[in-house]
C-alpha cells in the first residue's frame, strides 16, 4: 500500500494545527510490549496497545529510532536508515502501525538523528576505507585533534574529546556524542542529498512528522561553539521548504537543548520558518526547581519573557524523556541545588544531568505528581508524556547510563510485568522490582482497577485539557500574585471560527509550590467582578473582586484550573 499526504488518509482529522492540540506520548518500542517472546519489545507489540493509548487520550506517538543499529546508544546509532532493526519487525509492520494509528486519528512522529550515524554504517565504513571515494568526505576528518577547540563535550562521563583517531584512515574523525557515532559532514552537499532521501523515504511511508535529534550540532566552525551555527539554521530552513512543498501537514520538532534565547531561533521567522515545534528545554528544569524551592519566581520569569514565534509554531512541553533530566542549561547554583534535591546518590547522575524517572524524582508524592502533570498539561505548548509515567513507574539506578529509566513497561502483576512471555533472564533489561515500584504493585492492570489511581487521574486531566482548546491554541498571560510560591497565568483563546467551531475562552491556572496550605491574592485587572468555575467539577468559585483582585486558598502543592468569565452553554 502506498501512502500519500496524511491529510487525505482515512481516520485523520483535517486539522493543520493538529500538533498544537495534540497530546504526545514518547514510546520506546524496545521497552513497551514484546509480541514474540524474544525478550525485547517490537512494533507488533506496540500495535497491540494502540487501544490503550487511544483510551488514555493520546493523539500522537513519538517513536525513538527503530532503524537498523548496533544499539550502542539506544538506537540513536544508526547503521541503515532505510531498514528497521529486525528485533523490532519489518517495514510492513511499520506500515501497519501507521495505518492502525491513523484509523484511530493518532499520528506517528519518528525520531531522526541526522547529525551522526553509527560507525557501522556503510557510509562510514566506505569513508574510512577510501578517502578519495564517493563517501570519503561524508564525515568530518582531520589530521589533528586540535580543530574546533571551543566546542564542549556532551557525554562528559564517557568521552574526553570530540575527536577520535581512526587507525584505518589514519586521521581523526569528529563526534559530538559517543566515539562510535561519527558526525556527518554537512559541508558536503552529497550529505544533504542523502539525508533528504532518508526523510522522503519515511514521509512516503506515511509518518506525520519527525523529531530532529541533536539538531544544533550539524555544523561546526573555528570561532563558534559548534551549536546553532548559522549554516545549521540555513539547512533547517531549506528542509522546511522541502517539507512544506512535498509533505504539507507533517511536522518538524527540534531537539535543541540550548539557552532560552537560542531555542526560540529553531522556530525561524514568519517569512522563513524552521521547525513547527521545539521542545521547551528552558521550562522543564524550572518545574523541578520550583517543586523543591517552593518558589514560583523562575517559572514566572521564563513564562513572562516575550518570545516572538511564527504563526503556528508551538512548544513541546515535557517532564521526563528517554534521556537524563538535563541540567546543562541552568546556572551552576541551580544545578547544585537540583543535584542536592534530586540526585543525592552519585549513581543517580549521568553527564550533566539526572537519570531518574518522574515518580522516583518526586519521591512518589501523589500531590507533586499531580502538580507536575497539571503544569505539563496547561503550560503553553503540547504535552509530551514519557511511557510509564502515567502509572508512576520507577527506575533502576543500578543499570548503566540512561537504561535506568528505559525498563520494560509494567502492564500486569504477572511474569515480566506482562511485557513479555520470555524467560525472565532473557529480557533486554530487567523489570523494576524495587520495594516501592515493584511491578506487582505498579502496573496498568491494577491501576485500571482503582478508580483513584494515578492512571485514571492522568487520563481525566488529558480529557479535560482536550475539551478546552485554550490549552493547545491559546496565548498565555502571567499574572502578579502576592505569594512567592504561587504561579498564576491565564490561557486565552479568541476562538477559531473554523470547522471546529471553537468558541473563545479563558482559563485561569493557579499553582502552589508551597509545602503547606497558603492563601494568595492574584491581580486580574480588567476582569473585575468576573465569575470563575472549576474546570473539573463545574463548581462555582468566588468571583474576582471589584478591585480586580482574586483571593484564593490553596492546599499543599495543589492547583486550580478555572474557567474565567460567564459560563458557556
Burial of residue 8, with CB atoms counted within 10 A of its CB: 0-12 exposed, 13-18 middle, 19 or more buried: exposed
Task: State which residue, 76 or 94, has the beta carbon closest to ligand GLC.
Answer: 76
Q: Is residue 459 a contact partner of residue 497, using CB atoms and an 8 Å limit?
A: no
CA gap 108, 564 in Å, rounded: 35
Task: State which residue, 370 or 403, has the beta carbon closest to ligand GLC.
Answer: 403
- Interacting span for ligand GLC (CB under 6 A) from 68-76, 335-343, 388-396, 489-497: 68-76
- Interacting span for ligand GLC (CB under 6 A) from 71-79, 83-91, 364-372, 407-415: 71-79
Cβ contacts of 233 within 8 Å, gap of 6 or more: 265, 266, 268, 274
Does 214 contact ligand GLC by CB under 6 A?
A: yes
Burial of residue 328, with CB atoms counted within 10 A of its CB: 0-12 exposed, 13-18 middle, 19 or more buried: middle
- Which of 59, 159, 183, 213 is the binder for ligand GLC (CB under 6 A)? 213
Task: State which residue, 317 or 486, has the beta carbon closest to ligand GLC.
Answer: 317
| Longest CA span, the chain | 78
Q: How far is the CB of 30 from ligand GLC (least distance, A)?
A: 13
- Within 167-289, strands assigned E span 171-174, 209-213, 251-254, 277-279
87 belongs to the catalytic site = no
**Cell output for 59:** 493523539
Q: How far is the CB of 233 from ligand GLC (least distance, A)?
A: 19
Looking at 59, 255, 324, 389, which residue is catalytic? 255
Q: How far is the CB of 113 from ligand GLC (least distance, A)?
A: 5
Burial of residue 160, with CB atoms counted within 10 A of its CB: 0-12 exposed, 13-18 middle, 19 or more buried: exposed
Q: How far is the CB of 17 from ligand GLC (least distance, A)?
A: 26
Print the binding letters for residues 101-120 with ligand GLC: x by CB under 6 A, - otherwise: ------------x-------
Helices 297-304, 283-293: inter-axial angle, 10-degree rounding = 150
- Interacting span for ligand GLC (CB under 6 A) from 70-78, 230-238, 440-448, 548-556: 70-78
Q: How far is the CB of 329 from ligand GLC (least distance, A)?
A: 13
Cβ contacts of 263 within 8 Å, gap of 6 or more: 254, 256, 278, 279, 280, 281, 282
Q: How far is the CB of 322 from ligand GLC (least distance, A)?
A: 6
Cβ contacts of 190 within 8 Å, gap of 6 or more: 134, 137, 138
Q: Is residue 74 a contact partner of residue 63, using CB atoms and an 8 Å limit?
A: no
Instruction: Report angle CA 338, 471, 387 to the nearest 5 degrees.
Output: 55
CA gap 266, 235 in Å, rounded: 11
The interface with ligand GLC within residues 161-180 (CB under 6 A) comprises: 177
Q: How far is the CB of 435 from ligand GLC (least distance, A)?
A: 29
Task: State which residue, 162 or 558, has the beta carbon closest to ligand GLC.
Answer: 162
DSSP state of 391: G
Total residues binding ligand GLC (CB under 6 A) = 9
**Cell output for 67:** 532503524
- Within 480-517, strands assigned E span 486-493, 505-512
Does 73 contact ligand GLC by CB under 6 A?
A: yes
Q: How far is the CB of 326 from ligand GLC (least distance, A)?
A: 9
Does 93 contact ligand GLC by CB under 6 A?
A: no
Closest-by-Cβ residue to ligand GLC is 76
Task: State which residue, 89 or 113, has the beta carbon closest to ligand GLC.
Answer: 113
Looking at 213, 220, 298, 390, which residue is catalytic? 213
Give me the residues paired with residue 298 across strands: none
Does 216 contact ligand GLC by CB under 6 A?
A: no
Task: State which residue, 287 or 350, has the beta carbon closest to ligand GLC.
Answer: 350
- Which of 62, 67, 76, 560 is the binder for ligand GLC (CB under 6 A)? 76
- Interacting span for ligand GLC (CB under 6 A) from 3-11, 69-77, 234-242, 475-483: 69-77
CA gap 425, 331 in Å, rounded: 43
Q: How far is the CB of 214 from ligand GLC (least distance, A)?
A: 4
H-helix or E-strand spanning residue 325: strand 325-326
Cβ contacts of 387 within 8 Å, gap of 6 or more: 25, 26, 27, 28, 31, 32, 409
- Which of 265, 323, 502, 527 is the binder for ligand GLC (CB under 6 A)? 323
Task: State which residue, 119 or 323, has the beta carbon closest to ligand GLC.
Answer: 323
Q: Which phi and psi angles does 19 have, rounded to 5°?
A: -70, -20
Task: State which residue, 321 or 453, has the beta carbon closest to ligand GLC.
Answer: 321
213 belongs to the catalytic site = yes
Does 352 contact ligand GLC by CB under 6 A?
A: no
Binding site for ligand GLC (CB under 6 A): 73-74, 76, 113, 177, 213-214, 322-323
List the catalytic residues. 213, 255
Amino acid at each position: 500500500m502506498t501512502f500519500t499526504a496524511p491529510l487525505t488518509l482515512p481516520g485523520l482529522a483535517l486539522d493543520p494545527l493538529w500538533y498544537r492540540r495534540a497530546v504526545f506520548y514518547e514510546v520506546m518500542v524496545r521497552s513497551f510490549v514484546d509480541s514474540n517472546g524474544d525478550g525485547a519489545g517490537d512494533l507488533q507489540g506496540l500495535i497491540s496497545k494502540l487501544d490503550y493509548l487511544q483510551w488514555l487520550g493520546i493523539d500522537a506517538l513519538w517513536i525513538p529510532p527503530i532503524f537498523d543499529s548496533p544499539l550502542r546508544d539506544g538506537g540513536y546509532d544508526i547503521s541503515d536508515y532505510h531498514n528497521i532493526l529486525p528485533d523490532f519487525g519489518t517495514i510492513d509492520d511499520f506500515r501497519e502501525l501507521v495505518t492502525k494509528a491513523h484509523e484511530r486519528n493518532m499520528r506517528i512522529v519518528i525520531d531522526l538523528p541526522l547529525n551522526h550515524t553509527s560507525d557501522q554504517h556503510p557510509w562510514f565504513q566506505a569513508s574510512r576505507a577510501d578517502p578519495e571515494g564517493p563517501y570519503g568526505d561524508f564525515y568530518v576528518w582531520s589530521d589533528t585533534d586540535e580543530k574546533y577547540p571551543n566546542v564542549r563535550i556532551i557525554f562528559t562521563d564517557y568521552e574526553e574529546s570530540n575527536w577520535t583517531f581512526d587507525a584505518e584512515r589514519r586521521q581523526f574523525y569528529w563526534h559530538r556524542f559517543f566515539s562510535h557515532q561519527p558526525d556527518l559532514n554537512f559541508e558536503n552537499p552529497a550529505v544533504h542529498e542523502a539525508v533528504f532521501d532518508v526523510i522522503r523515504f519515511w514521509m512516503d511511508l506515511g509518518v506525520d512528522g519527525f523529531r530532529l535529534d541533536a539538531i544544533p550540532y550539524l555544523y561546526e566552525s573555528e570561532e563558534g561553539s559548534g551549536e546553532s551555527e548559522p549554516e545549521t539554521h540555513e539547512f533547517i530552513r531549506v528542509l522546511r521548504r522541502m517539507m512544506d512543498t512535498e509533505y504539507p501537514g507533517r511536522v518538524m520538532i527540534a531537539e535543541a537543548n540550548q539557552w532560552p534565547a537560542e531555542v526560540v531561533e529553531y522556530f525561524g521567522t514568519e517569512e522563513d520558518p524552521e521547525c513547527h515545534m521545539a521542545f521547551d528545554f528552558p521550562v522543564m528544569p524550572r518545574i523541578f526547581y520550583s517543586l523543591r524551592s517552593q518558589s514560583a519566581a523562575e517559572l514566572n520569569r521564563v513564562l513572562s519573557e516575550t518570545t516572538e514565534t511564527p504563526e503556528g509554531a508551538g512548544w513541546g512541553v515535557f517532564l521526563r524523556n528517554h534521556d537524563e533530566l538535563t541540567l546543562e542549561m541552568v546556572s551552576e547554583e541551580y544545578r547544585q541545588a537540583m543535584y542536592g534535591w534530586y540526585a543525592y546518590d552519585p549513581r543517580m547522575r549521568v553527564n550533566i544531568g539526572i537519570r531518574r524517572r518522574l515518580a522516583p524524582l518526586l519521591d512518589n508524592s501523589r500531590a507533586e505528581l499531580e502538580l507536575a502533570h497539571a503544569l505539563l498539561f496547561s503550560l503553553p505548548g503540547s504535552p509530551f508524556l514519557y511511557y510509564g509515567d502515567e502509572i508512576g513507574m520507577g527506575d533502576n539506578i543500578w543499570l548503566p547510563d540512561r537504561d535506568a529509566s528505559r525498563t520494560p513497561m509494567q502492564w500486569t502483576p504477572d511474569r515480566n510485568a506482562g511485557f513479555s512471555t520470555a524467560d525472565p533472564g532473557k529480557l533486554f533489561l530487567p523489570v523494576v522490582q524495587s520495594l516501592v515500584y515493584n511491578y506487582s504493585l505498579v502496573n496498568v492492570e491494577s491501576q485500571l482497577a482503582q478508580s483513584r489511581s494515578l492512571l485514571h487521574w492522568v487520563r481525566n486531566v488529558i480529557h479535560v485539557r482536550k475539551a478546552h482548546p485554550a490549552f493547545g491554541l491559546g496565548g498565555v498571560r502571567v499574572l502578579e500574585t502576592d505569594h512567592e510560591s504561587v504561579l498564576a497565568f491565564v490561557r486565552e483563546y479568541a476562538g477559531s471560527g473554523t470547522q471546529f467551531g471553537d468558541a473563545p475562552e479563558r482559563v485561569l491556572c493557579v499553582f502552589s509550590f508551597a509545602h503547606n496550605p497558603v492563601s494568595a491574592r492574584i491581580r486580574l485587572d480588567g476582569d473585575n467582578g468576573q465569575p470563575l468555575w472549576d474546570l473539573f467539577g463545574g463548581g462555582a468559585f468566588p468571583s474576582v473582586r471589584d478591585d480586580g483582585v482574586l483571593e484564593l486558598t490553596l492546599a499543599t502543592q495543589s492547583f486550580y484550573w478555572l474557567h474565567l468569565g460567564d459560563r458557556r452553554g
